[in-house]
Structure 1
Amino acid sequence: MHLRIKDGVTLDLLPTKQFKTVGIKVDFVTPLRATAITARALLAQVLETSTATYPTQTALARQLSAMYGANFGITVLKAGTQHIVRLTCSVVDEQYLSSYADQQPLFERGMALLKAVLFAPLLPNGHFDPTTFTQQRQNLLTAIKSLDDDKQYLANRRLQELLFAGQPTQAMSALGDITTLGELTADDILTTYHEMLAHDAVHVAVIGDVTAQRAQTALATWPLTARSVHDTLPYYHWEARPTVQVGDDVAPVTQAKLNLAYRIPVYRNDADFMATVVFNAVFGGTPLSLLFTNVREKASLAYYASSSYSPYTGTISVQTGIQTQNQQRVLAIIAEQLATLQRGDLQSDLLAEIKASLANARLTVLDSPQRLLDGRLNAQLTHVTTSLADWQAALAAVTVADIQRVARQVTLQATYCLHGGEH
């Protein structure tokens, strides 16, 4: 059930008795701006740790404990051309508790907590608490730096920087960058906070045994104003470069990370979307894939080899872990797997197996409240809503010829290798 609460504010309700919890998700969505990404990430950190009523992380944790172990968190993410500040709260459905004495049901208490976080933060004298601000800025700095300790993440980020050189909104992590972070003040974050509340599109989604009336009544107490939202699709369109961008760095790694980025000009709302999903699964997206089978298993040249498809940016990324001296051989074998699909050389029984694995993966989503909620935002951003039956029919209809057609649109754009310096 999709409800328009007011201009720029929507509520999606997924009523179900399948789960013993009620999940709430609130997404604040705005077009990506390189200057604002870091500030929004820091704002999320500050809001997550305190409110006027619960001024410390300890006080907030006690309240969550008093709500029978409710979960609460704030994250930031990117979806194509959009930046999202996401609040989530999950509470037990009290009808499954043997003794629940509080008059207010836990869903309403969860909504009240999110309301307090958003609209009554810790703002002594109208400013964010300096101690909290300084501590959270340091925590975010540590978080950004620690991401680089994950060498595969680091390699992938460097690959994105190569691929989207000159496009900082796409090259940058959703957490922003260290240089900007060091320059941000508490006043900057306050400005970002007011801008987010006033101008972002707001998408609220609730899953569980909750009626539309209850959800609307709880949301009606939030002081959200109407906002004019430019309803632009989130896709980042870009032109292929005539030459492949190549980068490499030396780092203390025992296992080299070789990553590749391809352009595939197919987005979520394109007719070839499902064929591209299947192409990616055949290429490297599943344990049955050509990359996994031929690079890792048969040639024993990689510790892992996989691919992923982004329908927001029209990219396919390949991640491998290899010995540095095998780099050229691995590149050649990966290129051969793509060429195989471009020739239409794909066994029908392998295609059937991979389709079955995709169908099973899709069904597991139905058992995950969080992933079902995520799906509502994707539908909001892209205006594409597909029923399970339609999705299954589209999957079944994909042919070898469809995969060949998609494969012929795939072009290598960048390669990046993070290695230990040996050759």
Structure 2
Amino acid sequence: MNIQIAQGVDLKIIQTSQFKNNTIVFNFSIPSNYKNFAKLALLADLLENASLKFPSEMLVSRKLSEMFGASYGVTVLRYGNQHTLRIRLTFPNNHYLPHKEDLLNDAMAFLREMIERPFAKNDQFDAHYFKIHQTNLMSYLDSISDNKEFYSTLQLQKLYYANDLNQGTYLLGNIDSIRELNASDLYNFYRAFIQQATVTVIVAGQIDQAQVVSRLKSFSTLSDRNDLGLKLFIEPELPKVPREKTTVFPGSQSLLNIGYRLPIYFGDDSYFAANVFNQIFGASTRSLLFTNVREKASLAYDIHSSYNSFSGMLSVQAGIEFKNLSQVIQTTDEQLTATADMAYPESLLVGVKKSMINQHRSQSDYLSTLAERQYVRQISGVAFGDSQWEQLVNDVTKKDVAEVAKRVQYQARYILQSQGDNDENN
């Protein structure tokens, strides 16, 4: 059921008795702009942990406990060219409570409090509260380099999108951009953001529709707003010559990250073939990369590929010994060629498709998956029923996969070389 609460504010209701919980998800979306990354990252922390009525994490937790262990969270996400602040509350279905308590009114009142009455006074966030979360976020950003796999992924992203700061910049910003924020300016940003962002509310479970609509219309922030002209898919201006960079760090294992352009997007005619290709190439434990680079040749501690259908990007990450770098690159190229030449057993194609379908079915057992799929339908305008999804996967042929592989274009390579390997080579 699709309902418009106000101009630019849409409500999607999924009625289902499959789960013991209900969930309410607010998605506030604006065009991706790196200048807003730090602001929204810190704002998410501030909206998650306190409000005027609940001015501490303990009081928020206590209220959630009163709602029979409801869970609440705020996060920031990137869907292609869209930057989304997501606020989610999941609470028990009244049919499973001892006295059939209806928590919907309580849930809506709690969300309104957390969204519309942040812990702020005199047009600024509480100074002490702001400082704590600002410091915590800077500490987290400072610790990212300790997670070598994630750090190298971010460096590849930066290299790949060298001409686009809105995509090449980490979604949570950087330490300097967080440090520059103050409690007053961020509060002014919050007020503008909450009134201007495009809003999609997803409600799933056994829900009284009229009650949901009535409560949402009581939110003062859910008023008419202008169309932001949100675009989803990224069509980057990529460098004409592939970019490559190597960084040396103290450690015992090097990391190879390769970025490719794969201009196939969610809902395209070749979308399902692209997903099957990714599984065959490197995303699954039966893939060509895993089997031939890791298992047979023993050239990598781990190797896998990832495909983003909103950005049209394919990436490969491998944990390696630096002395094997050229051999790993060559063998990876050979697996891409093998995919394009259909030089792999039919059983791999069959097994990959079966695994994809089983995973899709198992994910359907989660309420969060239903809400997420509904949101993707909303922002993309593309919808697949479960049976249709499975049929489209099963329809993919070796030739379809080969045509996808032929469209892969090498764009960037980032190497995180361990100091141990460097010393050994020297």
Instruction: Give the TM-score taking structure 1 as reference length.
Output: 0.96
Q: Is the 8 A contact 1:79 1:234 kept in 2?
A: yes
Please give the alpha-carbon distance, in whole angstroms, between the structure 1 residues aligned to 2:320 and 2:244.
17
TM-fit CA distance, 1:125: 2.1
Equivalent residue for 1:191? 188
Identity over aligned pairs, percent? 32
Runs of 5+ consecutive residues of structure 2 not aligned to the other structure: none
Equivalent residue for 1:379? 377
Equivalent residue for 2:65? 65
Q: Quick one: which of 160, 165, 183 aligns to 1:168?
A: 165
Please give the alpha-carbon distance, in whole angstroms, between the structure 2 residues aligned to 1:31 and 1:360.
35
TM-fit CA distance, 1:31: 0.1
Q: Is the 8 A contact 1:111 1:218 kept in 2?
A: yes
Q: Is the 8 A contact 1:43 1:192 kept in 2?
A: no
Equivalent residue for 2:301? 303
TM-fit CA distance, 1:69: 1.1
Please give the alpha-carbon distance, in whole angstroms, between the structure 2 residues aligned to 1:117 and 1:39.
17
Q: Is the 8 A contact 1:244 1:413 kept in 2?
A: yes
Q: Is the 8 A contact 2:81 2:230 kept in 1?
A: no
Q: Quick one: which of 359, 363, 366 aligns to 2:364?
A: 366
Please give the alpha-carbon distance, in whole angstroms, between the structure 2 residues aligned to 1:251 and 1:58.
40
Q: Is the 8 A contact 1:161 1:171 kept in 2?
A: yes
Equivalent residue for 1:144? 141
What is the letter of the counterpart of residue 94 of structure 2? E
* 1:7-406 equivalences in 2 (<5 Å): 7-99=7-99, 105-223=102-220, 224-406=222-404
Please give the alpha-carbon distance, in whole angstroms, between the structure 1 residues aligned to 2:195 and 2:330.
52
Please give the alpha-carbon distance, in whole angstroms, between the structure 2 residues aligned to 1:187 and 1:127.
4
Q: Is the 8 A contact 1:72 1:89 kept in 2?
A: yes
Does the residue aligned with 1:27 lie in a helix, a strand or coil?
A: strand
**1:125-163 CA deviation, whole Å, 9 max, x = no partner?**
232101111111111111222232211000000001110
Does the residue aligned with 1:148 lie in a helix, a strand or coil?
A: helix
TM-fit CA distance, 1:239: 4.5
Q: Is the 8 A contact 1:75 1:86 kept in 2?
A: yes
Does the residue aligned with 1:108 lie in a helix, a strand or coil?
A: helix
Please give the alpha-carbon distance, in whole angstroms, between the structure 2 residues aligned to 1:239 and 1:184.
30
The ranges of structure 1 where at least 4 consecutive aligned residues each deviate by more than 4 angstroms after the TM superposition are none
Please give the alpha-carbon distance, in whole angstroms, between the structure 2 residues aligned to 1:60 and 1:243.
52
Q: Which moved more, 1:231-240 or 1:143-152?
A: 231-240
Instruction: Give the TM-score taking structure 2 as reference length.
Output: 0.95
Does the residue aligned with 1:189 lie in a helix, a strand or coil?
A: helix
Please give the alpha-carbon distance, in whole angstroms, between the structure 2 residues aligned to 1:20 and 1:258.
44
Q: Which moved more, 1:47-56 or 1:251-260?
A: 251-260
Q: Is the 8 A contact 1:235 1:313 kept in 2?
A: yes
Runs of 5+ consecutive residues of structure 1 not aligned to the other structure: none
**1:182-206 CA deviation, whole Å, 9 max, x = no partner?**
1111122112101211110111111
What is the letter of the counterpart of residue 124 of structure 2? H
Please give the alpha-carbon distance, in whole angstroms, between the structure 1 residues aligned to 2:127 and 2:20.
40
TM-fit CA distance, 1:108: 2.3
Evaluate the alpha carbon distance shift between residue 193 and residue 239 of structure 1 in structure 2; reply closer, same or farther with a 3 A threshold: closer
Please give the alpha-carbon distance, in whole angstroms, between the structure 2 residues aligned to 1:27 and 1:282.
34
TM-fit CA distance, 1:99: 4.1
Please give the alpha-carbon distance, in whole angstroms, between the structure 1 residues aligned to 2:42 and 2:184.
12
Q: Which moved more, 1:281-290 or 1:227-236?
A: 227-236
Please give the alpha-carbon distance, in whole angstroms, between the structure 1 residues aligned to 2:272 and 2:37.
31
What is the letter of the counterpart of residue 388 of structure 2? D
Please give the alpha-carbon distance, in whole angstroms, between the structure 2 residues aligned to 1:254 and 1:71.
40
Over the residues paired in the alignment, what is the CA RMSD in angstroms? 1.4
TM-fit CA distance, 1:402: 0.8
Please give the alpha-carbon distance, in whole angstroms, between the structure 1 residues aligned to 2:417 and 2:182.
37
What is the letter of the counterpart of residue 213 of structure 1? A
Q: Is the 8 A contact 2:31 2:228 kept in 1?
A: no
Please give the alpha-carbon distance, in whole angstroms, between the structure 2 residues aligned to 1:414 and 1:106.
51
Q: Is the 8 A contact 1:233 1:382 kept in 2?
A: no
- The number of residues matched between the two structures is 420
Please give the alpha-carbon distance, in whole angstroms, between the structure 1 residues aligned to 2:163 and 2:409.
20
TM-fit CA distance, 1:232: 3.4
What is the letter of the counterpart of residue 191 of structure 2? H
What is the letter of the counterpart of residue 209 of structure 2? A
What is the letter of the counterpart of residue 108 of structure 2? M
**1:63-110 CA deviation, whole Å, 9 max, x = no partner?**
11111111111001111111111111111113212246x6xx223212
What is the letter of the counterpart of residue 116 of structure 1? E
Q: Which moved more, 1:355-364 or 1:183-192?
A: 183-192
